[in-house]
Amino acid sequence: MTTLFISDLHLESAHPARTALLLDFLSRQIQSADALYILGDLFEAWIGDDDDADAEWGLTVAAALQTLTGSGVPVFFLHGNRDFLIGERFAAAAGIQFLLESVVIDLAGEPVLLLHGDTLCTDDVDYQAFRTQVRHPVWQTQMLALPLAQRRALAGQLRETSRQATGQKAAEIMDVNQAEVERVMRHHGVRRLIHGHTHRPAIHNWTLDGQPARRAVLGDWQDEQGSVLRCDELGWRLESIVRSGADQ
């Protein structure tokens, strides 16, 4: 059994090389996988499945995912803080299956908690308040009812506010809070956790309540290099992804 986990690709049409890296990964590098999990922030921004600005580009990504899922490799998706408005229309086009924002899966007989990771950053109080607002179904329904131009403007404002706030925050405030990590692991009865969001790829091993605990943090993608967590009979490994093109 080989299960793959990726997150934080932050795809946008302005960065075609990063999209090409994903398409190459989907079409040539993971055919032998049993499942692919995308733990959020597949896209840099998403203002609704009806966005017509980069519709063709969005369909290209959906079609590549559809080809993989159609070949029998299930793709599971958990929303991130950038693409939480991905909806049923995109999911149907891509053939992906939505996961709850925190979900426990069975991985080789072990329960493993999956999250995007932003909820673990509890030291960032302002962000958590913002998250509570934008993840509320009423806010999302109102947002999606706005004309696209208005949504685009609002999303741009939110990103700018986030950029300014992020620039002023200490690095440790934007990392996970260890006490929160341990609280959610106890709450879900797991000793294994996989998440992204912080862009600090690593596999942390420690002892939690006398038992070995492990937290894998997925890496973010750049134009020339991606990151994947491979889980198989050999264990858990973070690997780099580069293009395997015939042009090399």
Positions in the binding site for Mn ion (CB under 5 A): 41, 80-81, 197
Tokens describing residue 176: 């996970």
Q: Which is nearer to Mn ion, 42 or 73 (CB)?
A: 42
For residue 148, the minimal CB distance to Mn ion (Å) is 23
β-pair type (202-208, 192-195): unpaired
For Mn ion, the closer CB: 29 or 198:
198
- The string of DSSP letters for 211-234 reads EEEEEEEPPPP-SS-EEEEEEETT
CA distances 52 to 18, 40, 56, 89, 139, Å, are 21, 22, 8, 13, 21
Smallest separation, CB 118 to Mn ion (Å): 6
- Position of minimal CB gap to Mn ion: 197
Is residue 223 within 8 A of residue 2, CB to CB? The reply is no
In the complex with Mn ion, the residue whose CB is nearer, 191 or 195, is: 195
Min separation Cβ 143 and Mn ion, Å: 18
Strand 97-98 with 102-107, pairing: unpaired
Sign of CA dihedral 200, 131, 38, 222: negative
Residue pair 78/113 in contact by the 8 Å Cβ criterion = no
The nearest distance, CB 41 to Mn ion, in angstroms, is: 4
- Choose between 33 and 220: whose C-beta lies nearer to Mn ion: 220
Smallest distance, Å, CB 221 to Mn ion? 12
Tell me the closest approach of the beta carbon of residue 89 to Mn ion, in angstroms.
22
For Mn ion, the closer CB: 197 or 214: 197
Q: Is 184 exposed, middle or buried (0-12, 13-18, 19+ CB in 10 A)?
A: middle
Return the SS3 of 114. Answer: strand
* Nearer CB in complex with Mn ion: 10/191: 10
Helix (H/G/I), strand (E/B), else coil: 140: helix
Residue closer to Mn ion by CB (options 199, 214) is: 199
Least distance in angstroms from the C-beta of 193 to Mn ion: 16
